[in-house]
Amino acid sequence: MSDKPGFRLRSLEEKDLETVAVFEGEIAKISFPDDPITDTNFYIKKLKQLMANKDAAAFVAESGGEVVGWANVSQRQNFITKEKYADFHSIYVAPSQRGGGVVAALVEAVFDHCRQKNMGKVVFRTRADNERMKSVLARVGFVPTQIYYEKAFGKEKTGES
């Protein structure tokens, strides 16, 4: 795919599944702190489905023979307007590689894929309190467009006045 200082980008391969599954578990801890799914077998199964999806793309960053980052995106279609758009699902960079351009390179690979597939826009969802991810998204040109609210039942705090 492409080489950058200290790492190279390429498509996700079968040999990467276990490492990327661990990355997805780390994402889940941030995205769903109350009940994250961290089972690598769960993610390996999902990743195999992703690899078979012709409307998706997955990229890894590799450094020193190890996968140090990953991102994936899939094509969606608005059911009303029929507009094609990209759903940018995941991006993760190992802590040791943060600040070294891996995020920017992975994002650009996703954007290039979207341009090649003529998708009109890219959407990305993150937790409202994930300030680090919101900062990354703003830095690469995303703007917030919707707010999603949630109220849980059966988990109300007790003992509050």
Q: How far is it, in rounded angstroms, from Cα 63 to Cα 37?
A: 27
Per-residue pLDDT, 154: 81
The pTM for the full model equals 0.86
The pLDDT of residue 161 is 47
pLDDT at 117: 94
User: Is 149 among the domain residues?
Assistant: no
Asked if residue 155 is part of any domain, the answer here is no
| CATH number of the domain encompassing residue 29 | 3.40.630.30
The pLDDT of residue 152 = 84
Report residue 75: phi and psi, to 5°.
-85, 140
Residue 145 lies in a domain: no
pLDDT for the residue 86? 96
Question: From CA 15, how far away is CA 12, in angstroms rounded?
Answer: 8
- Residue span of the structural domain in which 126 resides: 2-139
Q: What are phi and psi of 134, to 5 degrees?
A: -60, -35
Residues of the chain with pLDDT under 70: 1-5, 155-161
| Structural domains counted in the chain | 1
154 found inside a domain: no
DSSP string, 79-131: TTT--EEEEEEEEEE-GGGTTTTHHHHHHHHHHHHHHHTT-S-EEE---TT-H
Q: What is the chain's length? A: 161
Burial pattern 12-21, b for ≥16 Cβ within 10 A else e, equals beeebbebbb
Provide the terminal-to-terminal Cα distance of the chain, rounded to the nearest Å.
58
Q: Helix 40-52 to helix 17-31 angle, to the nearest 10 degrees?
A: 110
